[in-house]
Amino acid sequence: MPKIIPIKDLKDTAKISTMVRESPSPIYITKNGYDDMVIMRSEAYDQILWENDVLDKLLEAEQEIARGEGVDAFESTAKLRKKYGL
């Protein structure tokens, strides 16, 4: 279950820091009863960025294949082996 706290609770920065470090998921901050922000550990944020980067690269590769720009792995390996005498 997500942790939800009001924005006024951000005054106690030490408590918030501890809460963020101990929480496995992001903490949602509300203002006047409505979603306003999300706080999470920097490691979790970095992981999300890394995963999004991987997904972007996979999507780009799939689009290249759909356009016929992809190269067969076996053909590519054979060319490299021939080029370098392997």
The CATH number assigned to the domain holding 36 equals 3.40.1620
Burial degree of 5 (CB within 10 A; 0-12, 13-18, 19+) = middle
Predicted confidence (pLDDT) at residue 40 exceeds the cutoff of 90: yes
Q: In which domain, by residue range, is 75 found?
A: 43-84
Residue 67 and residue 49 in one domain = yes
State how far the Cα of 27 lies from the Cα of 40, in Å rounded to an integer: 6
Confidence of residue 47 (pLDDT cuts 50, 70, 90): very high
Chain center to CA of 43: 10
Do 47 and 80 fall into the same domain? yes
Domain match, 48 and 34 both: no
Predicted confidence (pLDDT) per residue in 3-14, tens digit: 999 999 999 999
* Cα–Cα nearest to 79, from 66, 71, 56: 71
One domain for residues 27 and 9:
yes
Is the pLDDT at 2 greater than 90, yes or no? no
Q: Give how many domains the chain has, as a whole number.
A: 2
51 and 27, same structural domain? Answer: no
